[in-house]
Structure 1
Amino acid sequence: MLLAIIPKVNMKVGGGYLHFRKKPLSLFFIVFVCASIVVWNWEKTPHLTTLLPPHDQALHLFPVKREHAEDEAEQGLGLVPPSPSTITSTNSNYFQDEYPKASHHENTTPLLEKSLSEGKERADTVKQQLITPVTSQRTESTVTDTPITTVETQACNFGKGKWIPADNRPLYSGFDCKQWLSGMWACRLTQRTDFGYEKLKWQPKECKMDDFNRVEFLKRMQDKTLAFVGDSLGRQQFQSLMCMVTGGKDMPDVEDVGKEYGLVKAHGSSRPDGWAFRFTITNTTILYYWSASLCDIEPVDPTSETTNYAMHLDRPPAFLKHFLDRIDVLVLNTGHHWNRGKLNANRWVMYVGGKPNTNRRIADIGGAKNFTIHSVVRWVNSELPMHPGLKVFLRSISPRHFFNGEWNTGGTCDSTTPGSLEVVQDKSSDPIAAGAVKGTDVKLLDVTGLSLVREEGHISRYSIRAAPGMQDCLHWCLPGVPDTWNELLFAQI
């Protein structure tokens, strides 16, 4: 380009003009001098190249607005930002909990998305889709401190929003998920005839929440373990997630690994303390451990069959101490077992500091519950530095909807339509849970407000046997509201 311009330029020398066309030696000399100057300056300023755009990128005179830069970063890490009347009742219903059978099934067909159910010949392809992309992404998505801090400090309230109709709900069939779902919670198997509660989807007001995708869930949870530790509402969330991840279908390649976590039926017991299942295709384990009070409980006199049980309010469940190092995502919950009837029926005696409690403030049921929740949150928070890959959530309380009485005095929940479909408040409707996690790295899985407006989603008077009796306005129909709890959890893993 320089040679194309210079011949057209005349230079006055010694009163005359030199034409470059007629003076090739002079031209060569000038080009040589210019080139030497450029090379000398380039060597003196080696970082000049950093001021220039890459060869394949256009030079922009103004900054380009990166609207989705943070979304891209979150997708690369597999992370997203974490995030109306106060629920303080200490009463609870006494429904007998029916546990699912943790046995292997027969004559089942594999399913993990439509692409996973089209025949065994596609198994290798599906496995490659699930595992290969994740291998390069397992750069400690939950271990890297800086990205997590950056993402989670952004304001995002998943508990504020509204329920909207959705044609892509429910996420599984209540008729089909028999391997994972207790029959008494599958309202499609009862006499209930209205199922509008299955067709609502939660839409946060200030946050983007993608639809649950079971393949993506297994990718995010490859080589990881998710544990639910809590009461029967925690078990509902566990069963809901098992149905969501399997699409409500039997899966022969899901392994029962309860023995690895001591979840076996003890001598004289009618059921184990929980269940653990492993999706072998991604080595993902989902487990549930029953701990209604979230504290350690042990017999006062192990040799006596009629012994009382020490309810150590300042100790976490022994299960957590034994297996915390094997858990990657932990979801805790408690609430409805904190009443005098439950404690007396179970022969639970409050202990603090290894001896019977004498603190009057803690002796009150509400005070004891508050003390225990704060205690277990503080303990698990103190363990986080030793478990840098662990993410812990305290799920807020699931609301009850007994009208015109309690569970044992004729209380009902016969409504077939929800209340207000919108939650506008910023604060959680469970101040105890919100207060317990404040100032810690334990996150609040806030489901209270959005569940509070869904009074039509409970089991109500329906049952498999159609026998009249007390209404269940505590537990939820599945598919139903607990599926949304898992969608919120999925969005924050």
Structure 2
Amino acid sequence: MKPNPIELSIPTTNGNLHKPLVTSNHFILPVITLALLISVHLYIGNFSDLRLISTATPAGNSTDDAKCNIFQGTWVFDDEKETYYTNETKCIIDDRQNCMKYGRPDTDFMKWRWKPDKCELPEFDAVEFLEAVRGKSLAFIGDSVGRNQMQSLVCMLASEAYPIDVSYTNDTRFRRWEFPTYNFTLIAIWSPLLVKTRDQNPTNFTRNSIMNLYLDEADDTWTSQIENIDIIIFSAGQWFFRPFVYYEKGEIVGCHFCNQENLTDLTVYYAYQKAFETTFTTLLNLQNFTGLAFLRTFSPQHFENGDYNNGGNCVRTRPFEKEEMHLDGYKLQMYLTQVNEFKVAQNEGEKKGVKLRLLDTSDAMIMRPDGHPNHYGHPASDNKSFPDCVHWCMPGPVDTWNEFLLEMLKMEGDGFIQRSTQRNTTKLNLR
């Protein structure tokens, strides 16, 4: 796969392009010249600098150290880097992500560490994390990639405190772990689209089955559980590419890959934007939620030579360099769609006393085509399995997400969650 060049026009969620424009009938010539020079400088800069969306720093924190964006950087090879856990550690690594258990021959993918441009990202400290969340609960809400991060965190914490599985079901999509020494609870809630869905033919469900997606109704699987949870991490992405019929206010508004001539073909970006609008509006309208909520951004897949079902794979054994690969095309569109909705919600959250933060992993992970299981996430006997270029090997680059998470919790400072009955509970309307 040849990496695409950086695009200077910025796609919006409706497919149009925003291009900078400098015009004035009143400026004198030197001012116009200066303005043009500034525009050219912006054009030739790194595209990620133009987005001006992501922030690793909580609002109001203006110290010099906090100005470092931990999400902008490069991967640096460190031959002495040790993993936080192994496939023999006393924690559960799903076989689908247990690359070493099923014979992946190379190990360099575990030796790369993330180096922010203007600071260092400390190694994960299990004691420090558990002290930060002592007496609290944390829920991962979303799809299997979110569960991938949750499983990574459980294993990273297991070096300090043995996790106890207290799940109420055998369904691995819903897990509940307790760390009694720290009175900390870790939860996984399966809600891959964040809004309500219904299988049109639940008895014959396949990857290509058409599902009904109710874009203005949040999934009560998570809404019914989170009001007393302290920290929430939302994530969703890959499921939105499957066939859907879209509903709003109980009526069909269009579809995606449904092949029905009488329905308007709407883009995946339309549904993605609506789903996150509904998610954040619902969160802000919950009367009793006074915690801290994160959006973990779009996790890119790295299929090359075809799709998952027609010869695609991910066989690279080293990361892309910063100059080789950037978010572009549909991956950039997905990123911008969710992050723009996040920024709207963050502004509203400040008025209502709800903290929303961006766990901006997309730029780092677009450079890690080497970090997926490919065919090493399944037993060797399972030779009919599809390659997995969506999830992440454990241990592997997904552990960096939890290094990010710890740094963000530290940025919040002591007492970052205040239980209060004084929250502004004015209802927000969906736009």
> For the superposition of Structure 1 and Structure 2, which TM-score range results when normalised by the shorter chain?
0.5 to 0.7
Identify the residue that residue 111 of structure 2 maps to in structure 1: 199
**Structure with the higher fraction of residues in helix conformation:** 1
- Report the TM-score, using the length of structure 1 for normalisation: 0.60
1:81-127 deviation digits (Å, cap 9, x = unpaired): xxx78999xxxxxxxxxxxxxxxxxxxxxxxxxxxxxxxxxxxxxxx
Match of 2:295 among 394, 404, 408: 394
2:394 aligned residue? 478
Matches within 5 A, 1:155-194: 155-166=67-78, 167-173=80-86, 175-177=87-89, 179-194=91-106
2:126 matched residue in structure 1: 214
Distance 1:318 1:165, change over 3 A: same
Pairing 1:438–2:350 present: no
Preserved contact between residue 231 and residue 333 of structure 1 (Cα < 8 Å): yes
Aligned counterparts, 1:9-24, within 5 A: none
Distance 1:200 1:149 in 2: 31
CA deviation profile, 1:129-177 (whole Å, cap 9, x unmatched): xxxxxxxxxxxxxxxxxx964228964422201112332431111x213
Q: Kindly report which structure 2 residues correspond to 1:11-410, keeping only aligned pairs within 5 A, or say none.
A: 149-151=59-61, 155-166=67-78, 167-173=80-86, 175-177=87-89, 179-247=91-159, 251=162, 254-259=163-168, 264-265=169-170, 271=171, 273-297=173-197, 310-341=212-243, 343=244, 349-357=245-253, 363-383=266-286, 386-388=288-290, 390-410=291-311
Structure 1 or 2, whichever has the larger Rg, is 1
Offset of residue 386 of structure 1: 4.5
Paired letter, 1:464: P
Contact 2:129–2:406 (8 Å) recurs in 1: yes
Aligned AA for 1:477?
Answer: C
RMSD (CA atoms) = 3.4
> Structure 2 CA distance, aligned partners of 1:479 and 1:275?
20
Cα separation, 1, equivalents of 2:130 and 2:89? 19
Cα-to-partner distance string for 1:1-57 (whole Å, 9 max, x where unaligned): xxxxxxxxxxxxxxxxxxxxxxxxxxxxxxxxxxxxxxxxxxxxxxxxxxxxxxxxx
- In structure 2, the CA distance between the partners of 1:382 and 1:212, relative to structure 1 (3 Å rule), is same
- Give per-residue Cα distances to partners, 1:335-386, cap 9 Å, x unaligned: 1011235x4xxxxx43211343359778433311221122212332444x75
% same residue: 27
SS, match of residue 305 in structure 2: coil
Aligned length: 329
* 1:418 CA displacement: 1.6
Q: Distance in 2 between matches of 1:216 and 1:238?
A: 17
**What letter matches 1:278 in structure 2?**
E
Residues 1:205 and 1:168: Cα distance change in structure 2 (over 3 Å): same
Query: Structure 1: how far apart are the matches of 2:390 and 2:194?
Result: 19
| Shift in Å, 1:425 | 7.9
SS at 1:311 equivalent: strand
Whether the 8 Å contact between 1:160 and 1:424 is mirrored in structure 2 is no
Taking the aligned partners of 2:181 and 2:109, their CA distance within structure 1 comes to 33
Closer/same/farther in 2, CA of residues 403 and 152 from structure 1, 3 Å limit: farther
- Post-superposition offset of 1:459: 0.8
Shift of 1:208: 4.6
CA contact (8 A) 2:91 2:158 kept: no
Q: Which moved more, 1:415-424 or 1:318-327?
A: 415-424
Provide the C-alpha distance between the structure 1 equivalents of 2:90 and 2:68, rounded to a whole number of angstroms: 36
1:204/1:148 Cα in 2 relative to 1: closer, same or farther (>3 Å)? closer
Query: Which residues in structure 2 correspond to 1:460-479 (within 5 Å)?
Result: 460-462=374-376, 463-469=378-384, 470-479=386-395
C-alpha distance in structure 2 between counterparts of 1:223 and 1:250, whole Å: 14
Structure 2: state its 5+ residue gaps.
1-5, 13-56, 256-262, 347-355, 410-431
Any unmatched runs of 5+ in structure 1? 1-83, 89-146, 266-270, 344-348
TM-score w.r.t. length of structure 2: 0.68
